[in-house]
Structure formats: C-alpha cells, structure tokens
Structure 1
Amino acid sequence: MTLEERIQEVNQRIEEACRRSGRSAADVNIVAVTKYVSQSMTAKVLDSGLKHLGENRWQNAEDKWNALGDRGIWHFIGHLQTNKVKDVIGKFEYVHSLDRLSLAKELEKAAAAKDLVIKTFLQVNISGEDTKYGLAPEEAASFLRDIQGLTHIKVIGLMTMAPFEDEAEDTRRVFRGLRELKDALNHQGITREPLTELSMGMSNDFEVAIEEGATWIRLGSVLVGKEEEE
C-alpha cells in the first residue's frame, strides 16, 4: 500500500471507531511515528498533510528536525533522559513521557531559560508491567501536587502504553484505566487547568483506545510503514 492508501484506511478506521463510541473523529489527533523511517519518508508524511510527528530519541530525530523542523509539530514520545532535555526544549512542542520529578525539574529549568511553556503528558504505567516506564496510577496525584509550582510545564493529559496483545480487545482495561484515572484526577482539582488529553493507542490497538477516549494516537507501522535509514 502507498502512504496515501494507508492514511485513507487509518482515517476510515478512526471514523468507524468514533461512530461505535459516539465520538467525533475531529477529536482524535494522529501522531505519525517517524522514528523508524528516513528523512525523505518523513518529508512525504508532511507532504501528505499530516503535521504531528513522533520521535523517541533526539539522536535519531536530529537530522530530520534540522531539515524539516519548521514544517511539522514535533512530539517526543520516548523515555527522555534528563541530559537530553536541552536538545528537546524549543524543538518538540509536546513531551509524552513525563514520569519523574527529576525530569520535571529539568524541563522546567530548560523551558524557563527559553521563556517557553512545554506541553506534557504524565506517563502512567496502567498495566503494571516491569518493562514499561511511567508512574503507578496511585502515584499520579501526589506527583501532580509536587510539580504545581513549575510554571513552565503544562500537563495537558495522561499517556500510557498497553502491552502488545494478539487480540486488541485485551488492551481495553488499560485504556479504560487511564481514562478513569484522568477523570479521578480532574475531580480532585489538582492541576491549574483540567486534564483534557489522553495519549494512548498505537498501530495494534488504536481503535480500542479511541473507543475508550483517546485524543492522541501514536501510529507508526500501520501509517508510515518501516524502512531502514538511507
């Protein structure tokens, strides 16, 4: 399939998932995960009309950002080391992987130096897998209280990664758990503004994530495919 055909198919699947769950497709944003594809393919993604690009390592994203940075809106979706924050701030508008206080403080320091506010998602390990990063759900409220004074970080929502399952339906409890946690945190009124966003769902399970309230889905192979760097 061509890129255009994959985009068309994904959009159709999004619309069908929204129809099943009584949602509007306009409320679901696609982050095209370009971490496995070359600069030329990333340019084709932008040419297609997709604007949100997801990368998980600065060293892999650097050449793409230098060539294409002003054409897209960049999302850092991987585990972010504190010593890489300086490379991300001012280039990536969104960080999906805020998961510890040391990272929050480093993001605040770097964003303040550039007089920026960085939009972040609190990463939560809903599944409880040892291999997944993120706060335990019961730690989220206290973490949000701890960072209330960091004015250059804006937590707009929550992010999680579900286990890879042969049956996408088996991921539903993870996505439902993240949505319920968002609702509970909003009920407590911890953040300056309500949490509105849920970053959840990837190529294998994005339809279930949409049915459970995803507002950002991170799509790699099903959308842009995979290729080796040229």
Structure 2
Amino acid sequence: MTPEKTEGVELTPEEIRENLDCIEENVKRACQRTGRDPQEVTICAVSKLKPVEDIRAAMSAGQKLFGENYVQEIQQKYEILGNEAEWHMIGHLQRNKVKYIIDKVTLIHSVDSLPLAEQIEKEAAKHGKVMDVLLEVNIAGEESKWGFTAEETEEAAKTIGTLPHVRVRGLMTSAPYTEDAETNRVHFRNLRRLFDQLKNDSFPGVEPEILSMGMTGDYVVAVEEGSTMVRVGTGIFGARDYSKKN
C-alpha cells in the first residue's frame, strides 16, 4: 500500500478536475429535484490507493476534504501534505491503530463498537482534544459489513455520547454494492429516519449534523434521500489497483 505509486487507471489533473465538476453538478441537480440547498452536501474525495499527485490535482481544483480507508496511508500522506488537506478516516479502524491517526484526522466515520469508541476516548484525551465521530450503521444487515444494527444505534449513540473526548456528529453507512442505485434507496431512506430520530433524541454529547451515505455508484440517490456527505473515489480518481494494498 504505497500512495506514491499506484497502477490502475491513471488520470490527468484535467480529468480529475472534470470529474469533480461532474460530481458537483450531479449533487446540485439532485438537491434541486428535492428542494435542498446544494451547500448542505459535502463531497469527501476517497483517495485510498491513489498517489499524492492525484490528491494535489484535486486540491488544485478546489477539493480540500479527503477520505482514507487505511491507517498507513493516512500516515504516509499526512507526512507529505499535513494540514494542507482535511483528512477523514472512513475505513474499518482497529483499536490498536487509533493512536496513529488521532492527531491527523478531523472525523472518524467508522465507529462500529463501544470498545472502539472507548479507545478513541483514551487517545483523544492524551491529545487534549474532542474527536468527532460518526456511528457506522449496517443498515442493510449484511453479514460482510461492520457496524451497529439499526436497533442498536440509538443506545450506542446515547452511551458513546457520555465519553468526554468523543462527540457523535451523525451516522454513516456503506450500502450494498449494486448495479442499480435505486435498489439502495430504501436503505438510505431508513438511515435518514434513524438520523432524524437521533436529532430528536437530544442526548448529551450527540450533535448529529452529518449523514454520510452514498458512494460513486449511488451518491445521487443518497443525496435525494438526505445525505449530507458523499464519499466518492472512483468517480473522481478512476479505478484502483487493489494489488497494491498490503
């Protein structure tokens, strides 16, 4: 897993810029169809297994927020770019690796258990910071996916919200892979209901403003169903070569 060298589809800076423009336009149109303000939706550019040069190209096109799936990549890319970019941890996070990213990311999307939240609390306390997190919800009940069940989410938010150095900012899901984005609409709609319920609950330490759902294949449907953050990688940077993942 080396961000400095990735095979697969290599795009030019201009192609990356054009892709970003296309994503932004699609988000704008989805918002118009549903009476939303496009400013409510943030694009998180998923740069996993992509070189720093591609990130720089996206940054030159105005993109500042990048999501990474692997702790090692965040460390490597942060060493080069630092706070020039804003980094989010969007992949599955092991408790023993929290310490390596706690001072580098502004949001962890993938809190899928109380023990992980407690480890984030421990490491955030060492740095004297409050770590913003999202609770990962396995809204479709897939055996292959991490996350709280829909039934567990409310109680998890209430409990994690009591941790003084962790702030629950909302929910995240990775919907099932599908060739037809419409099939995920029901899952996005169900997560939106959970999100709205969480806002109504008013638990201490829970400030739900971010609903992270929708990726390259289904982000338009996700925005139509209320997503406030879409995680788009292939749609911006092109296909990845997973043989480069360690």
TM-score relative to the length of structure 2: 0.89
- For residue 193 of structure 1, report the CA deviation from its aligned partner: 4.6
> Which position in structure 2 is the counterpart of 1:139?
152
- Aligned to 1:19, what secondary structure does the other structure show? helix
Write the mapping of 1:1-230 to structure 2, written as runs, cut at 5 A.
Answer: 2-226=15-239
Q: Is the 8 A contact 1:74 1:94 kept in 2?
A: yes
- For residue 69 of structure 1, report the CA deviation from its aligned partner: 1.7
Cα deviation 1:89-143 (Å, max 9, x = unaligned): 0101100001101111110010011011111101000000001110001001211
- For residue 227 of structure 1, report the CA deviation from its aligned partner: 5.0
- Aligned to 1:196, what secondary structure does the other structure show? strand
Cα deviation 1:162-217 (Å, max 9, x = unaligned): 11111111110111011101112222322445412100000000000000111110
Cα distance, 1:108–1:16 mapped onto 2, change above 3 Å: same
Q: Is the 8 A contact 1:122 1:157 kept in 2?
A: yes
Distance 1:161 1:106 in 2: 23
Cα deviation 1:10-39 (Å, max 9, x = unaligned): 111111101111111111001000002112
Q: Is the 8 A contact 2:158 2:206 kept in 1?
A: no
Q: Is the 8 A contact 1:7 1:223 kept in 2?
A: yes
User: Which residues of structure 2 form unaligned runs of 5+?
Assistant: 1-10
User: Which residues of structure 1 form unaligned runs of 5+?
Assistant: none
- For residue 5 of structure 1, report the CA deviation from its aligned partner: 1.1
| Runs of 4+ with >3 A deviation | 191-194, 226-229
Distance 2:59 2:82 in 1: 11
Letter in 1 for 2:32: R
Distance 1:192 1:58 in 2: 26
Distance 1:65 1:74 in 2: 8
- Range moving further from structure 2, 18-27 or 35-44: 35-44
State the identity %: 39
- Aligned to 1:223, what secondary structure does the other structure show? helix
TM-score relative to the length of structure 1: 0.95
- Aligned to 2:45, what secondary structure does the other structure show? strand
- Aligned to 1:75, what secondary structure does the other structure show? strand
RMSD: 1.4
Distance 1:146 1:202 in 2: 29
> Which position in structure 1 is the counterpart of 2:4?
none
